[in-house]
Amino acid sequence: MEHRIPPDEPGILTDYERTYREFNWTSAAEEFDWSRGGPYNVAAEAIDRHAVGWRRNKIALFSVKASGDVSKYTFGEMADLTARFASGLEKLGAVKGDRIFVFLDRTSELYVAIVGITKMGGIAGPLFSALGPEAFKDRALDCGARFVVTSPYLYKRLEPVLDDLVDVDKFIIVGDGSDLGERTVNFGEVLASGDPGYQATNMAPTDPYIIHYTSGSTGKPKGILLGHRAMVQQLMACRYVVDLREDDTYWCTADPGWVTGTSVGIFGPWYLGTTLVSYEGRFNAHTWYSIMEQFKVTVWFTAPTALRMLMKAGDGAIAEHDLSSLRHICSAGEPLNPEVVRWGLKSLGRRIHDNWWQTETGAPCISNFKCMDIRPGSMGKPIPGVVASIVDENGEEVPPGTYGFLALRPGWPSMMINIWRNTPKFKEYFDIPGWYISGDQAYKDEDGYFWFLGRADDVIKTSGERLGPFEVESALIEHPAVAEAGVIGKPDELRGEIVKAFIILRPGFTPSEKLMDDITQFVKTRLAYYAYPREIEFVDSLPKTRSGKIMRRVLKARELGQPLGDVTMMDD
């Protein structure tokens, strides 16, 4: 029997099995104002309905700058600012359906812009501020972005490609852009020109509100479109998975350029009227703990990579801060290694709840719920309203313990509505009738918990056996010398493939043959006879996306001397 971590305290969802049996999306929709005649629009539900009620003066956002300065905004103020911005966009010539990029660091203007764009019926395109000019150009030309909200330093970064951005009418500059030329207009001027009484545009459930470009961990980024109907699942996920309550202060560290940063980072929590914390700066363990202490953060949503980096920073950093307000931690983006779950319990005194979903699914779909045992390394069970299974290449469900494709029954509310200008690619997800095929390989145990193996392209076939890289990576980071690990299958004449591991060592350890042998033996005692790394390479860094996913295909391409493909979403 594998190790299980029982619930530490009750959550909003108290009886998973019963709720899963009885749940239906129709009753969930009754929570929204549109079910009582209000406009059907994510912005109206996230901000406007709170601004006309008792939450008008409640803090919606604490915005922490890189300098440490803090600005705060009530729901009433956010309603005013987003209305002005939506109206100001229309006066610039923006119309419903326009793609409008938000290329900013995590400042308060990013939140105003994203919600304002959706309020006037535009399609918001949040982009990581680390993107280079060519990566920006690819995305802008792909979807024909008409307006770009950005800052002076990021606008200057785009100078090499400005002449190529033929679809962009105006760059809306946050800050002093007086020297940037005729194609720019000041963010403050757009706000000043707008009407604070502007009403959110009524949209159809399948009208897109956002375009998210995938991370490129598996290939060329795709423009995933999510519809306004996604709000129903995002609200329920924030209640059941993220366990958000009225009096919570919530920090989601995900950048809004990534789906987690908008679905459960902006819109989902704001449907519930929850106070958000945002931070403009880069990762630093002491800064992060200080933010949690300063704002008495109660619920925290972050990425496995960030948790591994905090683990690497040591428990001394935790001891210097009062984190007693923290009651619930969630993680998504890549599978959460069992060692990190155990560290969370020991060092933070909290369970860490892993979740599985994708840009294409729009919201969490399989989760470790507060009311359930956690089985470290498992992604948990499907959220109420989502049907998940493991199927073979013919769409037949396979028995427990059998590896196969992770699949969902289509029709959950936050499912992508299309891929921009790429309907054939969209249809590929549904090639097997009756299923959405995620591209991930996994298995389900006898009790209904799902276990991730890897992307179908990442799964290693060695000595006739199938092996997920995540399983080997998780075993590796349990070794006291290993901080992070990335694993690939390397072609081998005898075995088909062998396991090769790229390892970042913890401070105080140096590469040696003896350490290599020790790590190899350590993994051999924990995994199947074929699963240990036959090659180890010590490295200073691993190629990752900005959302923290290890880009195994880049590791493999480098190893085999092949072209790297699209690397525009790699972290700098």
SS (H, E, C) 34-79: HHHCCCCCHHHHHHHHHHCCHHHHCEEEEEECCCCCEEEEEHHHHH
Among 6-20, 162-176, 523-537, the range scoring the smallest mean pLDDT is 523-537
Question: Which of the two residues, 402 and 455, has the higher pLDDT score?
Answer: 402
Mean of all residue pLDDT scores within the chain = 93
Position 319 scores a pLDDT of 96
Position 260 scores a pLDDT of 95
Position 525 scores a pLDDT of 80
Which residues are CB-neighbours of 47 under 8 A, at least 6 positions away? 60, 75, 78, 79, 82, 115, 270
8 A C-beta contact, residue 470 and residue 453: yes
Averaged pLDDT for residues 133-162:
94
Q: Does residue 403 sit in the same domain as residue 532?
A: no
Cα separation, 508 vs 94, in Å, equals 56
Question: Residue 257: inside a domain, yes or no?
Answer: yes
| Number of domains, the chain | 2
CB neighbours of residue 356 within 10 Å: 27
Per-residue model confidence as pLDDT tens digits over 127-138 = 988 888 888 998
Question: Residue 347: inside a domain, yes or no?
Answer: yes
Tokens standing for residue 456: 């179908």
When pLDDT is cut at 50, 70 and 90, the band that residue 218 belongs to is: very low
Tokens standing for residue 227: 């519809």
Residue located via tokens 């795709």? 222
Number of H helices, E strands in the chain: 20, 26
Query: Which residues are 490's β-sheet partners?
Result: 498
Position 541 scores a pLDDT of 94
Q: Does residue 431 sit in the same domain as residue 465?
A: no
Cα–Cα separations (whole angstroms), residue 200 to 79, 107, 122, 172, 261: 10, 23, 11, 21, 22
Largest CA distance in the chain: 71
Position 122 scores a pLDDT of 98
Tokens standing for residue 565: 């493909």
Residue 219 has pLDDT above 60, yes or no: no
Q: Does residue 497 sit in the same domain as residue 424?
A: no
Question: Residue 451: inside a domain, yes or no?
Answer: no
Cα separation, 529 vs 516, in Å, equals 17
Question: Residue 130: inside a domain, yes or no?
Answer: yes
Residue located via tokens 């919201």? 363
Q: What is the CATH number of the domain that holds 481?
A: 3.30.300.30
Q: Does residue 55 sit in the same domain as residue 142?
A: yes
Averaged pLDDT for residues 389-395:
95
Question: Residue 414: inside a domain, yes or no?
Answer: yes
Which 3 state secondary structure label does DSSP give 223? Answer: strand
Which residues are CB-neighbours of 354 under 8 A, at least 6 positions away? 304, 330, 331, 332, 335, 336, 341, 367, 368, 374, 378, 379, 380
When pLDDT is cut at 50, 70 and 90, the band that residue 548 belongs to is: confident
When pLDDT is cut at 50, 70 and 90, the band that residue 505 belongs to is: very high
Averaged pLDDT for residues 71-82:
98
Q: Does residue 53 sit in the same domain as residue 122?
A: yes
When pLDDT is cut at 50, 70 and 90, the band that residue 215 belongs to is: low
Q: Does residue 168 sit in the same domain as residue 313?
A: yes
Question: Residue 450: inside a domain, yes or no?
Answer: no
Q: What is the CATH number of the domain that holds 414?
A: 3.40.50.12780
| Domain endpoint, select from 415, 444, 473 | 444
Among 134, 140, 138, 172, smallest CA distance to 155 is for 172
Position 570 scores a pLDDT of 65
Averaged pLDDT for residues 413-420:
98
Position 169 scores a pLDDT of 98
Position 155 scores a pLDDT of 97
8 A C-beta contact, residue 123 and residue 145: no
Q: Does residue 353 sit in the same domain as residue 211?
A: yes
When pLDDT is cut at 50, 70 and 90, the band that residue 154 belongs to is: very high
Residue 217 has pLDDT above 60, yes or no: no
Cα separation, 260 vs 266, in Å, equals 9
Strand order through the sheet with 496-505 = 482-492, 496-505, 535-538
Which 3 state secondary structure label does DSSP give 84? Answer: helix
Helix (H) or strand (E) holding 501: strand 496-505
Strand 388-391 to 404-408 pairing:
antiparallel
553, amino acid identity: R
Q: Does residue 411 sit in the same domain as residue 492?
A: no
Position 134 scores a pLDDT of 82
Q: Does residue 260 sit in the same domain as residue 317?
A: yes
Residue 39 has pLDDT above 70, yes or no: yes
Per-residue model confidence as pLDDT tens digits over 447-470 = 999 998 877 777 787 876 667 788
Question: Residue 164: inside a domain, yes or no?
Answer: yes
Tokens standing for residue 335: 């599978």
Tokens standing for residue 315: 């428990």
Q: Does residue 423 sit in the same domain as residue 465?
A: no
Position 334 scores a pLDDT of 79
| Domain endpoint, select from 420, 444, 468 | 444
Cα–Cα separations (whole angstroms), residue 445 to 408, 438, 543: 17, 19, 32
When pLDDT is cut at 50, 70 and 90, the band that residue 160 belongs to is: very high
Position 305 scores a pLDDT of 81
Cα separation, 298 vs 292, in Å, equals 8
Among 431, 366, 357, 435, smallest CA distance to 396 is for 435
Return the beta strands (E) in 343-481 as ranges.
352-356, 366-367, 378-382, 388-391, 404-408, 418-419, 436-444, 450-455, 460-462, 465-467
Query: Which residues are 391's β-sheet partners?
Result: 397, 405
Q: Does residue 550 sit in the same domain as residue 428?
A: no
Cα–Cα separations (whole angstroms), residue 408 to 426, 429, 497, 518, 528: 15, 10, 30, 41, 30
| Domain endpoint, select from 386, 413, 444 | 444
Per-residue model confidence as pLDDT tens digits over 97-126 = 999 999 999 999 999 999 999 999 999 999
When pLDDT is cut at 50, 70 and 90, the band that residue 59 belongs to is: very high
Tokens standing for residue 172: 């809306």
Position 563 scores a pLDDT of 76
State the DSSP code for 508: T
Q: Does residue 425 sit in the same domain as residue 293?
A: yes
CB neighbours of residue 130 within 10 Å: 17
8 A C-beta contact, residue 297 and residue 82: no
319, amino acid identity: A
516: containing domain: 458-560
In the chain, the N- to C-terminal Cα span, in Å, equals 42
Among 18, 28, 53, smallest CA distance to 246 is for 53
Among 366, 387, 420, 408, smallest CA distance to 144 is for 420
Question: Residue 8: inside a domain, yes or no?
Answer: no
